[in-house]
Structure 1
Amino acid sequence: MREHLTPDRVANKIRLMRTQYQGTFLITEGETDARVWKNLVNLSQCFVENATNKEKAIGALDILEKDNFSGVLAVVDADFDRLEGKQSPTPNLLMTDTHDMETMLLQSPALEKVLAEYGSEDKIKKLTESTGQDIRTLLIVPGVFLGYLRWLSLKEGLSLKFEDLSFKKFIDDTTLALDELKLIKTVKNNSQKHDLDEQTLQKRIEDLKQKTHNPWSVCCGHDLICILSIGLCKALGSCNTKQVESLILEKDLRLAYEASFFSRTELYQAILQWEAANPPFKVLAKIEE
């Protein structure tokens, strides 16, 4: 089972493959990320290996680097690393431009393609005009607060549980507005942390906020997609819940993400620089004009 993979096993698999394969090895931190990369790389020159999580991807890379193994690159989600001032310890480890791969997809025109499939032009126009905010801002505003709560939990060791949250409890389905205290209460209950004071957590989040923080680095892509899912059922469209489940939207965003969109990112430029520094190894597929 892939969940039982260790960094050593990932590294050993790549070592064994090198005897028959002379191309680049790209280590990713998850299966969904690997699916995105397989649409962006030249598969005849670059093999994509899923390490199953960020720590294992970094660990496998570290093992291979200590062996002076050439032609290996790892790409992981930035998460809160940039906000924490953390930098990559090696040129062979690159991070997403924003919090994670999902936020990169949402920043791109892939979002417009998904909205064209599931959304209502009239409803989208009505909501954006009434709020004075574009679609991405409508997703980002509630997503930022939730992102800060996630970051606060990590920084202060609160062990809050964000899996399986019911977003409908704190997101208004007609405006996508967030009720901050309802969100905190929902997360508290989901985490069995009833002793935490909601107003105190709200203030701690306000203290954590800084204008210099890029909201796309604060927000978790999965949270934004859950908010989008709610919106497409009422505020932005007329879908039923099953049509626009978050897993379906994530899949559609991946399929809608084109290599030409990726070519506009900082990560794309970083990979080009890596290729230039590591001949003859190649990663990227040729982008059609």
Structure 2
Amino acid sequence: MFSNGKDNALEIMAILGNSNFKGVLAIVDTDFWVVENVRFTNPNVLTTDAHDLETMLIFSNALDKVLAEFGSTTKLGTTGKPLRDILVELALPIGFLRLISTPTRKNLQLNFKEMQYGNFIDLKKIKIDMEKMISEVQVKSRNSKIDVKKLKLEIESCTKKTNNFIKYICSGDDLVEILTLILINVVGNYRSKNIDSHSLRAILRLAYDYDSFSVTDLYASVRKWELANGPFKIL
């Protein structure tokens, strides 16, 4: 069942834990926990192998299956690099802006909902304009205190240093929205023209197979939980 948010899930698990309720397991998005070195020790709460579920899907062969169905082989061949790499390059600066704006960092109180990604992604060059991206979020947040140029330099500095944390910084929301935009306007075939981000999320979930899941840390953690909590089974 869905808890309608990570905070709700953690609160529910704390209540159940205090009442010694058995056989309940929660899986929540990692978000920035790995990047922020947050240690969460509830044995009945597991986290995703990436920032969130959608990021896990993009980093799996589910993306390859989606591209095989909705991508144009000819158009994909003109991008110069794998589309997954392009998605990461475009989503990473947004991910860093999200990270920088969190309460544990600068607490910028930014609103990332309903961003118009086409306002700051150049679809001809497949490049992100960071100043436009920051301004897009700033306008929706009504936060006039942001120094756009200074924040851009900070994001650029972050993107040069990152390596192993990429999948924990890129938000699945951003990756899926950007993928939708690029499929429709750049690399998609005729089947991609009517696709939207909501349906694309569902398609990615359906494309994610058991073999892909079985090699994840999350899968191993679920199996470990089952051994410690018999006779309860998840998989």
Give the shorter-chain TM-score range: over 0.9
Moved more, 269-278 or 235-244: 235-244
Equivalent residue number for residue 72 of structure 1: 24
1:51 aligns with 2:3: yes
Give the distance between the partners of 1:153 and 1:236, measured in 2 at CA: 32
Give the distance between the partners of 2:120 and 2:192, measured in 1 at CA: 17
Equivalent positions of 1:142-221 (< 5 A) are 142-154=90-102, 155-209=105-159, 210-221=161-172
Give the distance between the partners of 1:213 and 1:161, measured in 2 at CA: 27
Question: Aligned in 2, Cα 1:137/1:148: closer, same or farther, shift over 3 Å?
Answer: same
1:256 aligns with 2:207: yes
Identity across aligned pairs (percent)?
Answer: 38
Question: Aligned in 2, Cα 1:158/1:242: closer, same or farther, shift over 3 Å?
Answer: farther
Equivalent residue number for residue 49 of structure 2: 97
TM-aligned CA deviation for residue 255 of structure 1:
1.3
1:247 aligns with 2:208: no
Greater gyration radius: 1
Give the distance between the partners of 1:213 and 1:183, measured in 2 at CA: 24
TM-aligned CA deviation for residue 280 of structure 1:
1.2
Give the distance between the partners of 1:51 and 1:226, measured in 2 at CA: 23
TM-aligned CA deviation for residue 208 of structure 1:
4.4
SS in 2 for 1:50: coil
Equivalent residue number for residue 85 of structure 1: 37
TM-aligned CA deviation for residue 239 of structure 1:
5.1
Whichever residue aligns with residue 48 of structure 2, its letter is T
Unaligned runs of 5+ in 1: 1-48, 285-289
Is contact 1:175-1:235 (8 Å) kept?
no
TM-aligned CA deviation for residue 161 of structure 1:
0.7
SS in 1 for 2:184: coil
Give the distance between the partners of 1:109 and 1:148, measured in 2 at CA: 25
Is contact 2:180-2:195 (8 Å) kept?
yes
Unaligned runs of 5+ in 2: none
Question: Aligned in 2, Cα 1:241/1:136: closer, same or farther, shift over 3 Å?
Answer: closer
Whichever residue aligns with residue 116 of structure 2, its letter is S
Give the distance between the partners of 1:168 and 1:235, measured in 2 at CA: 12
Deviations for 1:66-103, whole angstroms, at most 9, x for unmatched residues?
Answer: 11111111110000011110122211111000000001
TM-aligned CA deviation for residue 240 of structure 1:
8.5
Is contact 1:232-1:239 (8 Å) kept?
no
Equivalent residue number for residue 68 of structure 2: 116
Give the distance between the partners of 2:204 and 2:163, measured in 1 at CA: 28
Equivalent residue number for residue 88 of structure 2: 140
Moved more, 203-212 or 114-123: 203-212
Equivalent residue number for residue 180 of structure 2: 229
| TM-score computed with the length of structure 2 as normaliser | 0.93
Whichever residue aligns with residue 80 of structure 1, its letter is F
| TM-score computed with the length of structure 1 as normaliser | 0.76
Give the distance between the partners of 2:145 and 2:22, measured in 1 at CA: 51
Moved more, 238-247 or 56-65: 238-247
The aligned length equals 232
Give the distance between the partners of 2:150 and 2:31, measured in 1 at CA: 24
Is contact 2:30-2:51 (8 Å) kept?
yes
TM-aligned CA deviation for residue 276 of structure 1:
1.1
Deviations for 1:217-266, whole angstroms, at most 9, x for unmatched residues?
Answer: 00000101111111112321245886221111111111111122111111
